[in-house]
Every structure is written in C-alpha cells, then in structure tokens.
Amino acid sequence: MTVTEERTTVPTLTTTSPMRVALNAALRRSLEDDDRVVVMGEDVGTLGGVFRVTDGLKADFGERVMDSPLAESGIIGSAIGLALRGYRPVCEIQFDGFVYPAFDQIVSQLAKMRARSGGRIKLPVTVRIPCGGGIGAVEHHSESNEAYFCHTAGLRVVACGNPQDAYDMLRASIASDDPVIFFEPKKHYWDKAELDLAGELRPSSIESARLMRRGEDATLLAYGPTAKLAADAAEIASSEGRSLEVIDLRSLSPIDLVAVCESVRRTGRLVIVHEAPVFAGLGAEIAASVGRECFYELEAPIERVGGYDVPYPPARCEADYLPDVDRVLDAVDKVMNA
Amino acid sequence: MKPIQFVDPDGVLDRDAVDNGGIPVDGDLARRLYRDMVLGRRLDQEAYSLQRQGELALWLMSLGQEAAQAGSINAIRGTDYVFPSYRDHVAGLARGISTQELLRQWRGATHGAWDPESHNFHIYSLVLATQLLHAVGYAMGVRLDGSDTVVLTYFGDGATSQGDASEAFNLAAVTRSPVVFFCQNNGWAISTPTEAQFSGPLVDRAAGFGLDAVSVDGNDAIAVFVETQRAVERVRSGGAPAFIEAHTFRMAGHSTSDDPLKYRSVGIVDHWASQDPVDRMRKLLHREEWADEAYFIALAGEAEALAAETRDACFNIAEPDLGDVFRATLTTETPLLQLERQRFEQFKGSFL
C-alpha cells in the first residue's frame, strides 16, 4: 500500500455536513444496502444516540435498530451471536471509558473466535467508540484507549479524522468480514465538510493511510482527533517557512507502514501525535518500526507528542494534557534542530 | 422448588407423573438416552487415561453428568443450535462430533476442532458464561429471521456468578429470544461449593429475570429429557426464554490438574455414586424390560470399540502449523501478518 490516488483526489462535493451526520449517512446507507446489517447499543433507537449519530434510523429500519440494556459486555456478546447467525451488527459503545466492561467479549471472544475456529468463523462486527477529549466532559468520557485493541490480534482498529473519511470508513468497516473497532473523535462530531455520499464502497479507506498535506522538512503522523490538529500545525508552520508533510494513519491496526516509511524517507524526520498516553502507546510501535525501516534516512530521533502518563485529568486541566499546536510545533523544532 | 424426578435411584419410573408431562416415554427413548450416556462415559474414561499417559495436556471430565447432557441434547431438534461450555463431551458426541475432534483441543492442536455449522454445535467456550451472550445474540437473530429454531446453551453453577450470565438472562428476557439456558449444577466451582457461590436457588434467580425456570433431577435422564423438551417447545411456540437447573454432581475433579480430595470428602462422593445416572437408567431398562442381556452386551462392545477408536484418533491427531494461525487471524492475511509469517517460516526453515 503506497500513496494511492484516492488520497489526493478531491471528492465530488454534494452536501455540507458535520461528521456525526456523515456517520449517520454511512449507517443508513449500510442498512439500506444489506438487510443483515443491524444497529445496537445504549439509546441508539428512539433517542438516536447521545451524540445523535443514529438519529432517525429506528423510525426507518424498525427492529434492525435495537436499544440495548445498559450492559456493554451484553452488547458485544450478543453481537457475536448475531454475527454467528449471519448478521452484520454495528454496536455503539456510548463513551470510550465504558468499553472496559466489554473488554473480555472483545479481546477473548470477538478477536479470537476466527483463529480459534481455524478460520471457519467470521465475525463481521463493527464496534463504534466515540473517543478522545476536548469537550470538557466528566471522567471516563475523554479517553483514548486504542492501544489496548491494537495490541489484540484478530481485530482491525481504525480512527476517522474528517467527515468524508467517517462516511467511507464506517461503510467499509461494516462491509468488512473482520471485527473492526471504529474510533470516532467526539470533539469533531460537529465539524462540517463537503461530502460525497454517492460514491462506491471504499475498502482502501480502512487499509491505507491518507496523505493530507505534502511537505519536505518533517512528517507529522496523526489519527482520529489529532489529524486536524496536525493539519492546523502544518498550516501555521508553513507561515513560518517550514514545510510539513501530514499523514492521517486511518488504520491503526494493521498500520500502513509502507506509506509512513515512504514519507519519512523523503523528509528524514517524524513526529507522531496522538491523544493517548505516550508510554506504550501506538506511537511507540510506529517509532520502533520506522526506526528499523528508515534508520539510515532519519536525520533526527523520532518525537512523540501525546497525553501524559497520568489518568485523564479533570476537564479544567485537559487543555494542558492534550497535545495542541504549540506542543506539536515544539516537537517539530526538536526534530529540526537535532 | 423440589427438582422434578421421574425415575428414582432404584430405576423405578413414576408413570403417572411422566404421563402428565405429555411426552411419550418408552423403551426406544430410554435405550437412546442410555446408549449416549454409556458411550459418553466411555469416551470420558478413555480421554482421562490418555491424559494420565501424557497424550493429552488436559481433560475436563464429564463423569456423573451424563444424564443432564444426554437427556437435554436428545430433547431438542438437530436444527436447534447449541452453545456449549467445555465439559459437554456427552452432548457433543451425541451430536455426531468425532472423538478426534473432541480430543484435538486437549492435545494442544487447536482451540476449536469442529465445524460448528455441520453439527449446529458451537466450539467450546472456556471463559465462563461468555457463550450465554452468544446464545442470546444468536437467538435474537433467529427471532429476526422468523425461524422456529431454538438455541440451547450449557453452563455450570460456577458460571452463574459471572456478570455475563446475568446480562444474558436479562437480555434474553427483555428481547424474548428463543433460548434455553441449561445449567448443569454439579455442586462445585472447582473447589468452591454452591453454598459459597449463591445463597438463593438458581431457579428463583432465573425466575426473577423473567425466565421460565424449572428445576430437575439432573441424574434422571428421563426427567431431563421430558422437562427440556417441554421447555424447548414452550420457547419454540413463543414463550419466555427458559432456564433449566439440572441438579447433578461432578464425580471427578474439575480437570485432570485438579485434586478434589483437597476440598471434599470421600463420603459425599460415595453418596452421589448411589445416585449414578448410568446405573439408574440401566435399572430402569431392566425393570421395564426395555432391554435384554444381548442389548447390554452389544452396547458394551460398542463402547469398547469407541474407546479403541478414541485412542487411535488421539495418536493420529495431526501436528498443527503456526503458519495456519497467521492465515486464520483475520479473513485476509494482511501484508504485515504475511511478512511476519514469512520471516517466521524462513527462520524456522534455516535450521533444517
């Protein structure tokens, strides 16, 4: 997987919508295209989800949109059973911090059942998780726990960074025969963009990284909630005479190492940005892999910008905790001055 | 609620009570159940020996629980789908799973040997109560399909302490999904007796969730068969999901790695030996004159042949290949998985 044309082509613009509406459109389209798709989760029916991502679906698709009792293990466990019966469930976990009660069903059941069965069983289950901070929420509502799932063989883990990807990636995830953990940056739910909703299914959207901006001096690698941050930082850097390349990873497991290394070989410098704590985070794996593959092309040690290694702090501290433009550009200074 | 019993430990059939159930009980049924119990017990014994001889890494004995399994698996249709736990060899054998498939997992050759769809019998679940939620989800799908299939899931008393069990009971009840929860209460969660696991009867708890709950003598295969079939047909015709508590006893340790003398007396085991489900059924067959000596001799021969086949099957289990695990992890081998597998194969090959 190298940089594909798809990443650089501007889509046909048809409508302007926020990310949560793009996700809603992807769910609606998937429900229309395949009558085995079902949507389940807490408050996803009549209420339309606490973020309204599933708004209106119950009215149009009836019992295929199911309000679940408040039991996350039950949501994932029953989704596995539905998948074994031939359904294609899309589960909503209401907030990132509430996925842990479902951890066993995800890690020991959903992820492993295919391998345990010697490849006989497929479990096309999509688990949507609003993730990340920046909305002033109470505890357990701002976490970035993707590393747990990336560390689990048998799962695909993806994160969308903009409304068009939200639409394409969710459709592709639902159509995938593998279990997919789908992270949605909740602080960008209301960000608008012009959307192409007419396109064909784009499986590559959950397999390949997206080149957001070409540059020469250093590569910024981000995903989910930090994709826009990296783009903003690159824009500011350009006004200061620095040319930064920006890649939105999109697929967190497996990673598109080919695309990342291709970029790093050109720029010679890499800054990885995620909201999750840096210690044993996804950035550590990427830094190790890129360090091995691009050792002789690197001009500076790889920098990682992320959350600190403390529990997610109270909301009034989160501006200090979360990576921002200043921290990203500070890391850029380090790789440029190394 | 006193557990329902139709055949007492001396093999005396309570004909009036059975007839009340509306399910015909005759020699054909009794011989069918007895055969599955005898064969299941012989398989279990042989696998136990194979573990003691170092041929299996572990075995989880079903000794003593034959009536609970044979009675229930025969009470449902072949098209009804089963989610087992990990001690359900008698049920699995009755469903046509081969002895080699039943052994492969315990020799360390696989985590799941058989094709679930061929037998409508899912692979074993080793994390307690997880399969109850899979059963409910499957049953939700059955209901969406408008099918008359019923889903039955096996678990033990120990599993009822898991959160997943409560979540499954509740979800099944509120979605009115066609599922039968079949609890083999064998008295022990490894070393912890039921009185240290729960203070109220399991059937009462199940009823509190809105399940159609019954309690049966789990060592009476006829009672298990009749009550399971009645419950399954109530569920099939749109009734509430059912919960059956079959009171039985795990006559052996939890597994071949266990030492039950550390936590229970010989006396209690002797007591339960007098309740033995296979003995009880043999006595019934004699009393009702549903089987003659030729039948018993032929069945004993069949059991010995199964034992020989089991040994043979064990020795012929193919060695697994780690490369296959890379290919089975996702539906397509990703470039990174492929690269890792190739490096592994190259490295391993460099020693040859």
Q: Which of A138, A195, A203, A130 is nearest to A162 (CA)?
A: A195
Candidates B263, B271, B287, B343; catalytic one: B263
Residues B196 and B325 both lie in one domain: no
Task: Check if A153 contacts B (Cβ < 8 Å).
Answer: yes
pLDDT score of A8: 40
CATH number at residue B113: 3.40.50.970
Total domains, chain B: 2
Beta-carbon separation of A153 and B329 below 8 A: yes
pLDDT less than 70: residues of chain A: 1-14
Domain range for B244 is 15-320
User: Domain boundary residue among A205, A229, A244?
Assistant: A205
Q: Is residue B10 a part of any domain in this protein?
A: no
Residues B223 and B336 both lie in one domain: no
Beta-carbon separation of B168 and A38 below 8 A: no
pLDDT score of B61: 98
pLDDT score of B20: 80
Residues B63 and B40 both lie in one domain: yes
pLDDT score of B22: 85
Q: Please provide the DSSP assignment of B144-195 as one string.
A: HHT----EEEEEETGGGGSHHHHHHHHHHHHHT--EEEEEEE-SEETTEEGG
Task: Check if B127 contacts A (Cβ < 8 Å).
Answer: yes
Single-letter code of the amino acid located at B267 = G
Residues B47 and B85 both lie in one domain: yes
Q: How many residues are recorded in chain B? A: 352
Q: Is residue A8 a part of any domain in this protein?
A: no
Candidates B254, B280, B282, B341; catalytic one: B254
Q: Which residues of A174-206 are buried (b: 16+ CB within 10 A; e: fewer)?
A: bbbebbbbbbbbbbbbebebebebeeeebebbb
φ/ψ bin of B139: left (φ > 0), alpha (ψ from -120 to 50), beta (otherwise): alpha
Residues B270 and B325 both lie in one domain: no
Residues of chain B found within 8 Å of residue A62, distances taken between Cβ atoms: none
Residues B94 and B186 both lie in one domain: yes
CATH number at residue A256: 3.40.50.920
Task: Check if A74 contacts B (Cβ < 8 Å).
Answer: yes
CATH number at residue A149: 3.40.50.970
pLDDT score of A55: 97
How many angstroms separate the first and last alpha carbons of chain A? 30
Beta-carbon separation of B170 and A71 below 8 A: yes
Gap between the Cα atoms of A42 and B125, Å rounded: 26
What string of pLDDT tens digits covers the 352 residues of chain B? 799 999 999 999 999 988 887 899 999 999 999 999 999 999 999 999 999 999 999 999 999 999 999 999 999 999 999 999 999 999 999 999 999 999 999 999 999 999 999 999 999 999 999 999 999 999 999 999 999 999 999 999 999 999 999 999 999 999 999 999 999 999 999 999 999 999 999 999 999 999 999 999 999 999 999 999 999 999 999 999 999 999 999 999 999 999 999 999 999 999 999 999 999 999 999 999 999 999 999 999 999 999 999 999 999 999 999 999 999 999 999 999 999 999 999 999 999 7
In sequence order, which ranges of A183-224 are alpha helices (DSSP H)?
A: none
Residues A196 and A249 both lie in one domain: no
pLDDT score of A10: 40
Task: Check if A30 contacts B (Cβ < 8 Å).
Answer: no
Q: Is residue A2 a part of any domain in this protein?
A: no
Residues A26 and A126 both lie in one domain: yes
Residues B225 and B352 both lie in one domain: no
Best mutation site among B119, B133, B155, B177 for testing chain A: the one with the most A CBs within 10 Å? B133
Residues B333 and B315 both lie in one domain: no
Residues B177 and B278 both lie in one domain: yes
Domain range for A168 is 13-205
Total domains, chain A: 2
Q: Is residue B198 a part of any domain in this protein?
A: yes
Residues B249 and B145 both lie in one domain: yes
Q: Is residue A1 a part of any domain in this protein?
A: no
User: Domain boundary residue among A205, A227, A252?
Assistant: A205
- Tell me the helices (H) and strands (E) count for chain B, helix number first: 15, 7
Residues A194 and A222 both lie in one domain: no
Beta-carbon separation of A80 and B144 below 8 A: no
pLDDT score of A9: 41
B170, B329, B334 ranked by CB distance to A115: nearest? B329
pLDDT score of A198: 84
Gap between the Cα atoms of B57 and B256, Å rounded: 9
Are A137 and A98 a contacting pair, CB within 8 Å? no
